[in-house]
Structure 1
Amino acid sequence: MKIQPASAAFTVVLGFLAAVPYSGIDINLPALAATGAALGTSPSHVGLTMSVYMLGLAIAPLLYGPISDRVGRKPVVVFGLVLFVFASLACAAAQSLPMLLICRAVQGVGAAGTTTIFAVIRDLFDEASGRAKIGSVMIAINVVTVIAPTAGAALLAIGGWRLIYAAQAVAGLILIPTVLYGLAESAKFDAANRIAAFTVLKDYLRIVTHPVSMAFILIGAAAGSAVFAYVTGSSLYFIKVAGLQPQQYGMIFSACSAAVMFGAFLDGQLGRRGVAPADVLTVGLVLLFVASSTMLVTTLAGLSPPALVTSLLMVVALAFGLSMPNLMNATMQPLPDIAGAVSAAAGSIQLGSGAIASGLVALLFDGRSALSMAAVMAATTLLALTLYLRFTRSAGRPLAT
């Protein structure tokens, strides 16, 4: 019996699928030093496993999206999960850093197959219900990000770093039959519409030239870059500058993830009460910029105690939770026939821009303050707000759908 799209179980399954790419990052964070010791290399070199994993996440959706528009969402998700399982097992068995890097890149390619679930939402739900469903999926993603670092530390203590990858393989194995037997195909595709390089390029040309979809893709990428800057910069600031213990930092990270969940939940409640998505998105983007720029100003003034930085990061997280369901929904609405390609383009551009923001934070880190994090976050949130205001003026209405 198939899981009904309107049910809570359907949302939970989509949430777990959407969390697969993120779980491959957070659960491995506590094991970098142990992995380096086991393979005879430094933790900083092992950190490259995160980079190659994210590279796979950024590139693979560009192929998965158009394929899912032509053969369906389920085959792509199942293929990605199978690849994720085998790559996770290969990571667990790796005996050298080069082999681990290769396996992590393949693992990222596999995990990227689950990013098509946002196209599933576009297939099955209208604008209002799609906005609520995306918000619920974001809550599920952040539940995983809250528990993943703690779970990784526990698995590391029980059986070492290889057990973490084995656990990821088990999670993928559980999801495969769930997708195969629990989810119906959602895509409405034409079987005669064959996959070809020209048609794929044509789809992406439609996306980058579409004034609404591309505008919201860029706005979402700029807003998402602020979060990537926070993820990189917060660990550098709180542990290396403020001197907090990893466990204390973990609590701050979890609190920010909870703030994202609350923002997504609040957006859903506002939607049910008839509040326009444009109003919520405007408030969210303004909050993102105000909190980030406040952090930059206080840091430049030498007034950035951990408590203040934590409070401002939680406001950023709350604003991100408010904004992203509306941004994703607005991105997907205009091109329903190639929703998979739209989802892929949005995810790849956001990951690419996020990687750049993350790299800038690490490169500019002065070892004494949160300046690099605050500066990059202020710049990216200003860009997101400026793009949105420019788009609303040119479109003549606050949120085109």
Structure 2
Amino acid sequence: MKIQPASAAFTVLLGLLAAVPYSGIDINLPALAATGAALGASPSHVGLTMSAFMLSLAMAPLIYGPISDRVGRKPVVVFGLALFVIASLACAAAQSLPMLLLCRAVQGVGAASTTTTYAIIRDLFDEASARAKIGGIVVTVNVVTVIAPTAGAALLAIGGWRLIYACQAAVGVMLIAIVLWGMAESAKTVAERRLGASAVFKDYLRIVTHPVSLAFILIGAAAGSAVFAYVTGSSLYFIGVVGLQPKQYGLIFSACSAAVMLGAFLDGRLGRQGFAPADVLTVGLVLSFAAAGTMLVTTLAGWSPPALVAALLMVVALSFGLSLPNLMNATMQPLPDIAGAVGAAAGTVQMTAGAIASGLVALLFDGRTALAMAAVMAASALLALTLYLRFGRSAGRPTWVSSV
């Protein structure tokens, strides 16, 4: 029996699929040192496995998106998950760091297929229903990101770092079974559409020349960069400067993830009460800049107690939860016939921008303050708000922002 798209079970399934790329990062974090010890490599070199995974995760959707627009979402997801399973088993069996790096890159290519999740939502739901579904996915993804590091540490203690990859493979097999037997095809494929380089180029040309989709892709990338900056900078600050233990820092990180979930939940409630998505998005972007800007000002003034920094990070996380469902909805709505390509472009741009933001935080970190994190977060939040006020609100008329 197929899972009904309107059901909570379908939302959870899409959320689990969307969480595959994030879990592929978070669950392995506790095992970097143990992996390096087993393979005769330093933890910093093993950290390159994260870079390999994220690089392929950023680029592979550009291929999956146009394919899913032509052959359907379901075959793409199943193929990607199968590749993810094979690569996870290969990671578990790797005997050298170069082999592990290669397998992690392939694992990222497989995981990237689940970025078609937002295209599936665009296929099946109208604007109001899609907003609620995306909010549910955001909640599920953040539940997984909270659980994943703890699960990774437990698996490491039980059976070593290889067991972590074996469990990822098992999860992949489970998701393949559910998708095959429980999920119907959502895309309205057009048989005569060719899948050639020129056709794919035309799809992406349509996206970058479409005022609404391009505006919201850039806004989403800027807003997401603030989150990537705090993910990188918070550990450097709270552990390296404040001196918190990893478990104590984990509580702060979990609180930020809970704040994202709360924001998505509030957006869903506001939507059901008739609040326009543009209004909620405006509040979210303003709130993000206000919190990040406050952190920057207080840090420059030499007064940034850790409790205040943690509270401001939670506000930024809350605002991201409020904003994300509306950003993704606005990005996907204008070009329904190539929703897969739109989602792929949005994901790639956001991941690339986030990697740049993370790199800047690490590069500028002074070892004494939260200045690097605060500066990159404030700049990213300001850019998102500026782009929205300058291009997003006007680009969305008359369909998306007419209610503002």
- TM-score normalised by structure 2 residue count: 0.98
Structure 1 CA distance for aligned equivalents of residues 304 and 71 of structure 2: 52
Structure 1 CA distance for aligned equivalents of residues 180 and 401 of structure 2: 35
User: 2:102 is paired with a residue of what secondary structure?
Assistant: helix
Percent of aligned pairs sharing the same letter = 82
What pairs up with 1:142-291 in 2 under 5 angstroms?
A: 142-291=142-291
Match of 1:49 in 2: 49
Gaps in structure 2 of 5+ consecutive residues: none
Q: Alpha-carbon deviations, 1:135-189, whole Å to 9, x = none?
A: 0000000000010011111111111111111111110010001001100000001
Runs of 4+ in structure 1 over 3 Å off = 392-401
User: 1:259 is paired with a residue of what secondary structure?
Assistant: helix
Q: Alpha-carbon deviations, 1:244-284, whole Å to 9, x = none?
A: 00111111111100000000000000000000001100000
> Aligned-pair distance for 1:397?
4.6
Match of 1:110 in 2: 110
Structure 2 CA distance for aligned equivalents of residues 395 and 187 of structure 1: 26
User: 2:275 is paired with a residue of what secondary structure?
Assistant: coil
Structure 1 CA distance for aligned equivalents of residues 167 and 360 of structure 2: 32
> Aligned-pair distance for 1:370?
1.0
Retained in 2: the 8 A contact 1:212–1:400?
no
Retained in 2: the 8 A contact 1:330–1:400?
no
Q: Alpha-carbon deviations, 1:322-366, whole Å to 9, x = none?
A: 000000000000000000000000000000000000111111111
Question: Quick check: 384-393 or 233-242, which moved more?
Answer: 384-393
Structure 1 CA distance for aligned equivalents of residues 36 and 151 of structure 2: 19
Structure 2 CA distance for aligned equivalents of residues 352 and 362 of structure 1: 16
RMSD: 1.1
> Aligned-pair distance for 1:395?
3.8
Structure 1 CA distance for aligned equivalents of residues 168 and 71 of structure 2: 27
Task: Give 2:367's aligned amino acid.
Answer: G
Match of 1:387 in 2: 387
Alpha-carbon distance change, 389 to 348 in structure 1, aligned in 2, over 3 angstroms: same
User: 1:243 is paired with a residue of what secondary structure?
Assistant: coil
Task: Give 2:301's aligned amino acid.
Answer: A
> Aligned-pair distance for 1:394?
4.1
Gaps in structure 1 of 5+ consecutive residues: none
Structure 2 CA distance for aligned equivalents of residues 60 and 38 of structure 1: 30
Alpha-carbon distance change, 297 to 272 in structure 1, aligned in 2, over 3 angstroms: same
Determine if the alignment matches structure 1 residue 321 to structure 2 residue 321. Answer: yes
Retained in 1: the 8 A contact 2:292–2:381?
yes
- TM-score normalised by structure 1 residue count: 0.98
